[in-house]
Structure 1
Amino acid sequence: MDVVAVFTAYHPDERLAAAVESALRSCSSVIVVDNTPRADSGAWPATAVDSRAPALAGERVKVVAHGRNVGLGAALNIAVCELPSAAEAVLFLDQDSELPPEIVPGLVADLADPDVGIAAPSPWDPKHQRYYCSEARRTETVSDEEAVITSGMLVRREVLEKVPFDEDMFLDWVDVAFCLAVRRAGWRILIDWRLRLPHEIGACEVHTRWGRTAHYSHYPAWRLYWIGRNVSILHRGHFASRPRALASSLVFLAERLTNTLLFEPRRRTHVPALLRGFRDGLRTRVDPRYLPAGAEHPAVRRRKG
């Protein structure tokens, strides 16, 4: 199976080059979509993808540097439009995801079943030496899942031609919305627990207060806004007919709110951002104050137009 790796970059560091080099050892080619916005002067910031770097300058690497931050969903759709005609599957990776050599052959084997649209490794937190998924979900081989995270998922080309990524959600929960749409279209989604992909989710730290211990990722306020907004969108558009999924996401939101109150030193700005996002999701609105600098969102562009 011809597999193309896709990276989305945003103010990348030296880890991107190492990640691209690791992907080239297992994939036929690599596409990098750079979401780092240009400065007003038109100059590239130092943290943009430099296609002159040795790891990014080869014939098997294509860099799409469009000079805007259009969000994760739009960047992934851009990458799909750039796929070579020979590509049969796409491996989506974060800019810091170095690929162990066994991942691609293992996931390709999982796609041998024509009913499987997405196969993914188990995400592993190397800093805290733990799986991101709960112990109760793990098996010795593979398991069917509602959704998997973007980094590491191998997706059939046919799936991508029928199911686009949601550009309105901008960043968080884009992978969940995509997976739910894939399942509705009739494909299975698997996690292969025999394959482990190191993955760091945000600035995650272990905190204990009042007898409660939690792994908490310290995000900026704008990121919490999108977490709250997109959970709300998932409730309204995807989970209304599935009580278990709805309950699971409400529990997630309650835990995020509780942990922000307990462990976030900037709670006076972060708690309102989370709650405002949830409210705006119910109203299908976007507050442009919670877009990162230089970012574009389709709803804001329509409003300006």
Structure 2
Amino acid sequence: MDESGEPGAPRVVAVFTAYHPDHRLAAAVESALLSCSSVIVVDNTPGGGSTAPELAGPRVTVLAHGRNVGLGAALNLAVRELPSDAEAVLFLDQDSELPPEIVPGLVADLADPAVGIAAPSPWDPRHQRYYCSDARRNDSVSDEEAVITSGMLVRREVLEKVPFDEDMFIDWVDVAFCLAVKRAGWRIVIDWRLRLPHEIGACEVHTRFGRTVHYSHYPAWRLYWIGRNVSILHRGHFAGRPRALASSLVFLAERLTNTLLFEPKRRTHVPALLRGFRDGFSGRVSPRYLPPGAEHPKV
């Protein structure tokens, strides 16, 4: 029996990645401990001053290495620290406070041995909307190409065979991981009956030409990695898949257009996005677009 009290339920370990965490991390960890056997927090905050180490306790392990090694490397570090009896891992962002029904619901979805990843439907509480379009939602479970990192429950066996891509650093790490998992033969599902609150960072609503757009105002370095990693997905995952390639190109075109229309710092942000797209095809990394305190294996 796991900590949630369900007889025969697999032992689920929650993994958080932290970067300059605020008070929401403590609340998120506390909510995860109600449903999971233990929690691992990988703190990517450079230098000292992070509050994450204060959360360490009998069921909470904090890995505070004082460096920003990126999302993929942080997730792989957590996987290496999993206790031997962990059977599944729930990945969460530092602001993801866990509703009590999420873990039991996702565990039930993993009862199908073909399912490698089960995820809830992410919900933006600030703007009161789902991440996914109405056309994709239903009242049960559906197979998907990819899901976002926060909220996905992954079999231990999957994580032992498919690592996260550390070269991608931050954006699209979850998509690349999911595509690799599908190639390895597992199903990926979203359980639409489960809703996980997840805020979209710095998102604002703009209306132009009668169309409403939700645009996330990221720093220039983040746009660089969005552009770079779209290129990596083309090169490494979308070869021979015209529909997937077209979809990601449409995304990049929309991101470029919205940056031109809605980003006040377009003179720095547009070049960052385009430079990232070019570097992704060449396999290079521009050190100027690493966030402060960050380390990348190719730099």
Same fold (TM over 0.5): yes
Task: Determine the C-alpha separation between the residues in 2 that align with 1:15 and 1:110.
Answer: 28
Give how far 1:209 is off.
2.1
Query: Corresponding residue for 1:214?
Result: 213
Task: Determine the C-alpha separation between the residues in 1 that align with 2:240 and 2:129.
Answer: 32
> Is 2:151 the partner of 1:152?
yes
What one-letter code is carried by the residue in structure 2 that aligns with 1:174? V
> Is 2:180 the partner of 1:181?
yes
Give how far 1:85 is off.
0.3
Query: Corresponding residue for 1:41?
Result: none
Query: Corresponding residue for 2:7?
Result: none
Residue from 46, 51, 68 that aligns with 1:49: 51
Query: Corresponding residue for 2:11?
Result: 2
Q: What is the DSSP-based 3-state SS (H/G/I as helix, E as strand, rest coil) of the residue aligned with 1:137? A: coil
Task: Determine the C-alpha separation between the residues in 1 that align with 2:208 and 2:131.
Answer: 21
Contact conserved, 1:34 with 1:49, CA < 8 A, in 2? Answer: no
Q: What is the DSSP-based 3-state SS (H/G/I as helix, E as strand, rest coil) of the residue aligned with 1:140? A: coil
The correspondence of residues 121-200 of structure 1 with structure 2, limited to 5 A, is: 121-200=120-199
Give how far 1:82 is off.
0.4
Q: TM-score, normalised by structure 1?
A: 0.94
Q: What is the DSSP-based 3-state SS (H/G/I as helix, E as strand, rest coil) of the residue aligned with 1:119? A: strand
Give how far 1:210 is off.
3.0
Query: Corresponding residue for 1:303?
Result: none
Task: Determine the C-alpha separation between the residues in 2 that align with 1:210 and 1:268.
Answer: 23
Structure 1: runs of 5 or more not aligned: 39-43, 301-305
Structure 2: runs of 5 or more not aligned: 1-9
> What RMSD, in angstroms, separates the aligned Cα atoms of the two structures?
0.7
Task: Determine the C-alpha separation between the residues in 1 that align with 2:220 and 2:99.
Answer: 33
Contact conserved, 2:40 with 2:78, CA < 8 A, in 1? Answer: yes
What one-letter code is carried by the residue in structure 1 that aligns with 2:72? G
Task: Determine the C-alpha separation between the residues in 2 that align with 1:97 and 1:50.
Answer: 15
Q: TM-score, normalised by structure 2?
A: 0.96
Task: Determine the C-alpha separation between the residues in 1 that align with 2:253 and 2:53.
Answer: 43
> Is 2:32 the partner of 1:29?
no
What one-letter code is carried by the residue in structure 1 that aligns with 2:102? I
Which string of whole-angstrom CA distances, capped at 9 and with x for unpartnered residues, describes residues 243-268 of structure 1? Answer: 11111111110110010011001001
Task: Determine the C-alpha separation between the residues in 2 that align with 1:187 and 1:93.
Answer: 21
Q: What is the DSSP-based 3-state SS (H/G/I as helix, E as strand, rest coil) of the residue aligned with 2:294? A: coil
Task: Determine the C-alpha separation between the residues in 2 that align with 1:278 and 1:50.
Answer: 34
> Is 2:17 the partner of 1:18?
no
Task: Determine the C-alpha separation between the residues in 1 that align with 2:219 and 2:179.
Answer: 27
> Is 2:233 the partner of 1:234?
yes
Task: Determine the C-alpha separation between the residues in 1 that align with 2:209 and 2:113.
Answer: 50
Give how far 1:175 is off.
0.2
Give how far 1:298 is off.
0.4
The correspondence of residues 98-117 of structure 1 with structure 2, limited to 5 A, is: 98-117=97-116
Contact conserved, 1:116 with 1:189, CA < 8 A, in 2? Answer: yes
Which string of whole-angstrom CA distances, capped at 9 and with x for unpartnered residues, describes residues 253-292 of structure 1? Answer: 0110010011001001000000000000011110000000
Contact conserved, 1:9 with 1:49, CA < 8 A, in 2? Answer: no
Give how far 1:211 is off.
2.7
What one-letter code is carried by the residue in structure 1 that aligns with 2:166? E
Task: Determine the C-alpha separation between the residues in 2 that align with 1:3 and 1:13.
Answer: 25
Contact conserved, 1:49 with 1:65, CA < 8 A, in 2? Answer: no
Task: Determine the C-alpha separation between the residues in 1 that align with 2:51 and 2:254.
Answer: 36
Q: What is the DSSP-based 3-state SS (H/G/I as helix, E as strand, rest coil) of the residue aligned with 2:53? A: coil
Give how far 1:138 is off.
1.0
Give how far 1:202 is off.
1.1
Give how far 1:161 is off.
0.1
Task: Determine the C-alpha separation between the residues in 2 that align with 1:220 and 1:99.
Answer: 28
Which string of whole-angstrom CA distances, capped at 9 and with x for unpartnered residues, describes residues 119-141 of structure 1? Answer: 00000011111100111111110
Contact conserved, 2:21 with 2:52, CA < 8 A, in 1? Answer: no
